[in-house]
Amino acid sequence: MNQEQHPEALVDGAWYWVEIETWAGEQANVAPACYDAESNAWYSRRFSGISTRYLKVLEPCVRPPQAGQAYRLLRTGEDRIEANDEFLKEDGTTWVRDPAGIFVGMPYHRALLPCRRRIG
């Protein structure tokens, strides 16, 4: 199941098992990840914001991560930023809350850094 072969097969916000591209000699890196259609990127506890072109979609997860351990990305035009939401730092791997709270209550917009909300 590759997004380029079956783009309609990927569901926004759904969890899939994915294999991340590896370099010569590295062991295959398989992890559950959540697909974000707006950015065409994947998010997981192991990585953040990897483009579909750098991984192989294996199959849908039968069971998503346990509640309280999972996140979903905020959606432009649907979500307002809450105090506990986390923004992806510019390093591309670390998530942090807005310490000053200046964005709380604002509508989320794709011009902002990716933002996630804990599920459960």
pLDDT tens digits for 93-109? 788 888 788 889 999 98
Residue 28 is classified by DSSP as P
pTM: 0.47
CB–CB of 113/88 below 8 Å?
yes
Annotated domain spans of the chain: 7-60, 70-120
The rounded distance, in Å, linking the Cα atoms of 51 and 82 is 26
Q: What is the mean pLDDT of residues 110-120?
A: 82
CB–CB of 97/83 below 8 Å?
yes
H or E element: which one contains 74? none
Bridge partners, 116 (sequence order): 73, 86
Task: Classify residue 59 by burial, with Cβ atoms within 10 Å: 0-12, 13-18, 19+.
Answer: exposed
Average pLDDT score over the chain: 79
